[in-house]
Structure 1
Amino acid sequence: MNIHHFEELMYTFQSHENEDGFDIDTVRYSCNFRRVFGEILGGALSYDQMTQLFMKIDANSDGCLSWDEFSTYMMMGAIGGVDETSDVFDERVRRLLGSPHRDMIRRVDFVARERKYVTVARDGTVCFWSPTLRLQRTVATKELYNQFEAGVGSKNGTSYWIMDAVFLHDHGKLVVITDHRQLCIYDVLAIKPRALAIIGPLEDNPLCVSYHPRYDEERDLMLFGDDRGYVNVLSLTRKFFIDASSDGRPNILEPSKLCRKDSLETNHISLSRRKVHNEWVQKVCFLAEMNAFISCATENMKSLVIGDMDRKAERYIRAPKGINCFEYCRRPSFLVTGGRDKIIRLWNPYVLSKPAGTLHGHNASVTQILINQDESHIISLSEDKVIKVWNARNMTCLQTLTDKVPHRPENVISTLYFDTQNRRLLCGSNKLETYTLFRSNRNQVTRTHDGSVVAALFNENFHQVVSGCQNGTVTLWNAGTGEKIFQFHNLHDGNEITAMCFDKSGRRLVTGSRDGNIKMWNFNNGQLLKTMIKDNPVEVTDIMYIEMGANRFIVAVGWDEVVSVFMDDPEEDEATPCRVLMGEGIHKGHTDDITSIAFSEPNFLATSGVDGAIVLWNLESGHCKGQMQEPYCHLRNPEEKAIEKLDCEMSEGEGLTALAANTDSSMLLIAGSKGHVQMWDVSRLRIDDGTTTVEIAQNLVLVKTWRAHVETINSINFVGMYNVIITASRDHTVRVWSTNGFHIGIFGQADPWVLDDPCTYMPAPSDLKHESLHEQQRRSLARLHAEKMKEAVISAWRATTPRTSNSKSEQEQDGDQGDSQQNSELESLQTKGGYTITPQDLEEARKLRLKAIEERVFNKWRGFVAMRHSARNFTIDSELVQKTSGRHQYFTFRNSTTRPSTSLSPPRPKSEAVWRSVAWFPLDEQGKEPRSTN
């Protein structure tokens, strides 16, 4: 929205100042919020977005917008809005964790590939933590170093302090620098950790280290600063790590040899040094945006230096008392520094003569700075254990966290780490302390995949859930905790995944794609086992793995209207259909796309399609055994009809998209196109020999109904092992629910769950809460509209009462004038017919006529109710469309397809509900029903 839109909206509000304001669903064109705002904004917002905007602006929830409400909303949005959570981190869920560390923690990091946190203490202890911060493993690097020295014949028992550490994510190695003037590389993720290489003794004591992967096609960079002001650049090739890992012997590298020009070619590692500062280097890193290194020191002259990697050119910042720490903020582009003068400064990295802004608030020296790039937040730490969160855009303090817990051996917070993936802040001393972002729990919906989820399958063998999305990604999840185990991408070379299933053993995954190809995978490691190619490249809609005796088949259906059967031969890695089922003659197959498959032992296969038919096949012979179609159900033999017919309507306009049952088929799960789930008890629907079906109301029990997603549910599964329900939807999420409809969690969320512990269950997703609020708003508006309509109908009904009395008096006058004529007619009838007709008989006939007219009106209303009820229960397919002719609405088929009519049993309407028919059978100005146009 620009200033011109704002001025036009202000003029529109002023022109309606004598009215109540803008309504969301008013019938007046000039006061309809969607129409007026939509025209001014040029249709930039959708229907739902306009509804959400209306609800945001309508602060008092009275259903109307005024200029005060609109201008207040715009003003608050211009200054950053009314922050629902003034704090950034939730102090109520602050956690203090004990640890094996007996000294201060120097470095905290998160290894995304292993889904583990790693902490490195000054005494050389390395700890690994789960995403829920449970201790998993402890490694003592001093013992590894002593074993290394023993391997090269040195004396054991060397003691040292770790000054800094960095984890090499690309290689899975840990690098530490010590006050023993050494740089050590450890393989701490191996089953048996060991020291790979040691570079030393260095000329000076290293103080800080950083790592930058993929500096170019061959090299990675490692930078470390020392106590004499030197910045050391270590260039490593990938072959160096391969050789160091494959060689079982310890590798000791002398710095003097690494400084040679041919060292990179011979040793795959080289070292270069540059004198930058006159004091200790506090921090050094490489900035790819400028192709330069940045270092800082506690000196007034060259407090921070930006040095070019290819040339010796340097630019520097002067700051009083020097700089202890710095960090680069990408949005907006600032270089943030902090030092002993307690001031945080923001610098334009290309203009270093003057800071672009300053942040005041700390009462002690600033020791560390972090950046939350997603929110543009600056997180600063001072020596007095105070953490402040700043907004980098408007340079204001958002929150202050004070640590009041005493620590040993030093009462300070030695390091900070912000986990962008799990959105939490970790503080390290000799223990770990965590703070969680507010917005991670309340304003964001976790996404399981980046695309629409096709299916989520539970594997009983591995107790895992395998989910696949249309983007071609398959992910393996731990069903008990929701944690990701494995993921592989691009399964069908850029084509969408459309169907999935397991083989009979549950060890292989079969996927179908948009181009008609079918592939079999080892889903535990992403290995392609077999490719099956159909006769035509059309979409696969469903796949099933079937065992018949010693034979194993993969059956696939899709848009080609045939059933493709593949033989599962373990010796072949590529297969074509061994049989194609399409039917012939009177036993023809489908005439439109096939959507699903079902199998019943020993050899019966059932397929359903868009043509509304269910076709039965003999999989062994390949012959079509019969066809069932809903419109012709009354023409079939009663023994072939369905057991019962179940009305599973969830909400208006919602179709059924997925079905599932438990192991003994006593519970039926039904999912809909609007995200609703129903659970039915069908345990009493048992058919025995010689028995007949009974009433549905006596056999079916609706156990539970709830909304699981805001979009279509593509897959639903009942996991009897855990007694939970798993749903997958187009909204990119796979969610877990209890059988009572309580939300357990979403696969991919930061915090795992424990199925036996309800305390770990997550609250209902925020999108469901928002949709519930919108639904309540829509219902209240509909209720208000209905009440006004009812009042109008009642007043119109009362107005017709005098008119009816006048018409009766006119009829009496007409009757008096025609008495003589009626008497003559009576006499002729009595003479000819031989029986007597009295005036009382004529009066009775007149009453019967009036009663017949009333019954005609009620029958018309009953027909409408039946039509609406039938339309709700009818599954809308691509052929069925809705048309409007004048004031009448009806359904028809796009291709003029005729369907046989079925007999309706409309319910008898309640007399107090007659007013509802006015919307469909309106009265004219005289209060009479309009004549039919037919």
Structure 2
Amino acid sequence: MSSQNAFELNKGPQLGSKSPEGTGGVATDEDHQPTLLENQLCVSDFLKIQSAFEPSEPCQTICMSREEFMQRMTEVVGWGTNDEYGELFDKVDVAQDGFINWDKLTSFMLLALYENDERAKATVLPQWKDLEFLPTKHKDTIQKVIFLKSSSRYLTISKEGLLGIWGENLKLQETLPIISDATKLKHLWVTSLASLENVNKIAVAFTSKEICFYDLLSKGEFPCQYKLQGLKGTPICMDYWYNPLDANESILSFGDTTGKVQAIVFTTALISLFERPANAHEDEEVTATINWTELLSGYHKCCYTLQHNLHHGDWVRQVTYNASLDALISSTTSNTNTVVVAWREKSKTPLKMTSFNVAEGIHAFDYHSRLNLIATAGINNKVCLWNPYVVSKPVGILWGHSASVIAVQFLATRKQLFSFSKDKVISSDEGSTVSFWMIDTGQKIKQFTGCHGNAEISTMALNANETRLLTGSTDGTVKVWDFNGYCHHTLNVGQAGAVDISQILVLKKTILVTGWERYASCKTVGRQSVFI
């Protein structure tokens, strides 16, 4: 149905003069049907209508024809026209019996009000609270956040290998370093994290092309039980699934920088993930090294592998196994083979694969099993809905974002889809005020005043993670803010003199500041300013 047709269906005849008594009616969706009679009736009106249908004998039922209903309602209710009550009669008499009674009328009204209520719930936008930043000990990019259902805790892991353990109240409980023997701590780079909840373990991927498995039940630091080495590419995304009816059956899937999607299918996960060396004792906390070639050869009887390289060298940004499809779903930022669905076939070892092409690629995806839809977060600002069995084109396209969509998430309980993008603008003025705006609506969502006193803000910049805002002013200072309006640092570029700052460049550990005084100031964390 086109939007024009939908608009015409909502158009109706104009209401007649309504008494003041009807202003407290039961209308629940005035935006959708503002002129319908049934949306204007109030409780007192329904009591009057009920009295018109009350029989003189308890065992009788009063029925009215169309003409009788129009005449009686205008007399009893006291407002509205014959045409309006005639339309209401036609809606109630769907069987075209030529008459209605009180039961038919109330059934129609309850159904209409229920539909209006459901429609209103579906269109209500969430009322977000102000963004709150949690204090962390992470010193680098947080690569993954996961929730442990068994213990109601959150785990965060950052690029430098620091694991944060959070309570359900989002209070940081503990931090532990995740260390790999293959690399020195300063060269360590964690890429992803997955929770193996059925066996109380976590899997951590590193740029050293290895995946380590840690035991969450051990006291103190988490020991590394297994170390998977010999991967051809660096794993950058992981996902874990286990069968709730048989926890021995589970799948760890991961994608790497060479475009490969690989999965380890565990068949006896509750007993052991991999075969341990014959001379190793069960109570020893010794790391067992597993080589990828061993898994490919079938040496480990408790698991086997699945893999494909249909992404042809493009980095795999997201991968997941979906049990309802019995398939691995993966995505890249390429415009060819953007989303690949690799179906498992019980009788065949090779995976059966289909792919979708999305212009400019996507950042992420999500799958809704009941609706059988894959939602993709497009770099081209679009959210596309795909049927996994129809690869030619999406079944729907959702518009509204004015920047790249970075994530999508289905809310299955309400049949809703959340999409997230960087649709935000930051502005400042001569009065030293910083404002945050939503691009698509023009709504001001946050404002800081008096950031540099009475001095004018001359330039601004964001750090690489876009978690800190740097403001430069005509008073020669650079201030570092979070998005709650807290100033973390004040850098005195002008050395107690007024310097008109024109640009700020944020590097990894250095801040470069330039101005109209033909000086470049280099600010390094923990050191004094060095003028060039």
Distance in 1 of aligned mates of 2:409 and 2:368: 9
Q: Which segment drifts farther, 295-304 or 72-81?
A: 72-81
Alignment partner for residue 203 of structure 2, among 175, 178, 187? 175
**Which structure ranks higher in relative contact order (CA pairs < 8 Å, sequence separation ≥ 6)?**
1
Change in Cα spacing, 1:352 to 1:30, as seen in structure 2 (3 Å) is: farther
For the pair 1:232 / 2:262, whether they are aligned, the reply is yes
**SS of the residue 2:359 aligns to:** coil
Partner of 1:347: 386
Partner of 1:127: 164
Structure 1 residue 25 displacement after superposition: 12
Change in Cα spacing, 1:23 to 1:320, as seen in structure 2 (3 Å) is: same
For 1:250, the aligned partner's letter is: T
Structure 1 residue 337 displacement after superposition: 0.7
Partner of 1:273: 307
For the pair 1:190 / 2:218, whether they are aligned, the reply is yes
Alignment partner for residue 465 of structure 2, among 410, 415, 426? 410
Mapping of residues 109-128 of structure 1, within 5 Å: 109-128=146-165
Change in Cα spacing, 1:31 to 1:222, as seen in structure 2 (3 Å) is: farther
Structure 1 residue 218 displacement after superposition: 4.2
CA RMSD of aligned residues (A): 4.4
**SS of the residue 2:155 aligns to:** strand
Partner of 1:366: 405
Partner of 2:289: 252
For 1:159, the aligned partner's letter is: H
For the pair 1:207 / 2:244, whether they are aligned, the reply is no
Partner of 2:46: 22
For 2:256, the aligned partner's letter is: D
Distance in 2 of aligned mates of 1:226 and 1:205: 5
Distance in 1 of aligned mates of 2:339 and 2:465: 28
Q: Indicate conservation of the 8 Å contact 2:251/2:264, yes or no.
A: yes
Partner of 1:465: none
Distance in 2 of aligned mates of 1:399 and 1:290: 41
Structure 1 residue 288 displacement after superposition: 1.0
Distance in 2 of aligned mates of 1:79 and 1:171: 44
Partner of 2:173: 136
Deviations 1:210-261 (A, max 9, x none): 1111397743111111111111111233222497774411111111112112
Distance in 2 of aligned mates of 1:297 and 1:336: 14
Q: Indicate conservation of the 8 Å contact 1:240/1:269, yes or no.
A: no
Mapping of residues 510-659 of structure 1, within 5 Å: none
Q: Indicate conservation of the 8 Å contact 1:383/1:412, yes or no.
A: no
**SS of the residue 2:129 aligns to:** strand
Change in Cα spacing, 1:27 to 1:358, as seen in structure 2 (3 Å) is: closer
Distance in 2 of aligned mates of 1:400 and 1:330: 35
Q: Indicate conservation of the 8 Å contact 2:161/2:177, yes or no.
A: yes
Change in Cα spacing, 1:188 to 1:402, as seen in structure 2 (3 Å) is: farther
Distance in 2 of aligned mates of 1:319 and 1:102: 35
Deviations 1:512-538 (A, max 9, x none): xxxxxxxxxxxxxxxxxxxxxxxxxxx
Distance in 2 of aligned mates of 1:217 and 1:110: 18
Distance in 2 of aligned mates of 1:183 and 1:401: 44
**SS of the residue 2:272 aligns to:** helix
> Given the two structures, how large is their TM-score scaled by the length of structure 2?
0.57
Kindly indicate which of the two structures has a greater share of residues assigned to helix.
1
Distance in 1 of aligned mates of 2:355 and 2:444: 32
Q: Indicate conservation of the 8 Å contact 2:223/2:285, yes or no.
A: no
Alignment partner for residue 329 of structure 1, among 356, 368, 374? 368
Partner of 2:80: none
Change in Cα spacing, 1:234 to 1:402, as seen in structure 2 (3 Å) is: farther
Distance in 2 of aligned mates of 1:21 and 1:371: 42
Partner of 2:140: 103
Distance in 1 of aligned mates of 2:60 and 2:466: 62
**SS of the residue 1:163 aligns to:** strand
Partner of 2:300: 264
Unaligned runs of 5+ in 2: 1-36, 64-104, 277-281, 426-439, 449-460, 469-481, 485-532
Structure 1 residue 165 displacement after superposition: 0.9
Mapping of residues 448-847 of structure 1, within 5 Å: none
Deviations 1:506-560 (A, max 9, x none): xxxxxxxxxxxxxxxxxxxxxxxxxxxxxxxxxxxxxxxxxxxxxxxxxxxxxxx
For 1:108, the aligned partner's letter is: V
For 2:309, the aligned partner's letter is: K
Change in Cα spacing, 1:275 to 1:77, as seen in structure 2 (3 Å) is: same
Deviations 1:7-63 (A, max 9, x none): xxxxxx99xx9x97432997886289xx999x9xxxxxxxxxxxxxxxxxxxxxxxx
Partner of 2:457: none
**SS of the residue 1:337 aligns to:** strand
Alignment partner for residue 287 of structure 1, among 307, 315, 322? 322
Distance in 1 of aligned mates of 2:300 and 2:342: 22
Change in Cα spacing, 1:291 to 1:179, as seen in structure 2 (3 Å) is: same
**SS of the residue 1:90 aligns to:** coil
**SS of the residue 2:112 aligns to:** helix
Structure 1 residue 85 displacement after superposition: 9.2
For 1:259, the aligned partner's letter is: L
**SS of the residue 2:410 aligns to:** strand
Distance in 1 of aligned mates of 2:307 and 2:395: 32
> Given the two structures, how large is their TM-score scaled by the length of structure 1?
0.34
Structure 1 residue 323 displacement after superposition: 2.3
**SS of the residue 1:23 aligns to:** helix
Structure 1 residue 170 displacement after superposition: 1.0
**SS of the residue 1:277 aligns to:** coil
**SS of the residue 2:297 aligns to:** coil
Deviations 1:739-773 (A, max 9, x none): xxxxxxxxxxxxxxxxxxxxxxxxxxxxxxxxxxx
Change in Cα spacing, 1:230 to 1:174, as seen in structure 2 (3 Å) is: same
For the pair 1:301 / 2:301, whether they are aligned, the reply is no
Q: Indicate conservation of the 8 Å contact 2:338/2:358, yes or no.
A: yes
Q: Indicate conservation of the 8 Å contact 1:300/1:321, yes or no.
A: yes
Q: Which segment drifts farther, 123-132 or 242-251?
A: 242-251
For 1:133, the aligned partner's letter is: L
Change in Cα spacing, 1:260 to 1:398, as seen in structure 2 (3 Å) is: farther
For 1:202, the aligned partner's letter is: L
Structure 1 residue 401 displacement after superposition: 11
Q: Indicate conservation of the 8 Å contact 1:23/1:31, yes or no.
A: no
**SS of the residue 1:91 aligns to:** coil
Partner of 1:699: none
Distance in 2 of aligned mates of 1:90 and 1:105: 23
Unaligned runs of 5+ in 1: 1-12, 40-66, 387-396, 414-430, 434-934
For 2:231, the aligned partner's letter is: L
Distance in 2 of aligned mates of 1:288 and 1:126: 29
Deviations 1:804-827 (A, max 9, x none): xxxxxxxxxxxxxxxxxxxxxxxx
Structure 1 residue 140 displacement after superposition: 1.1
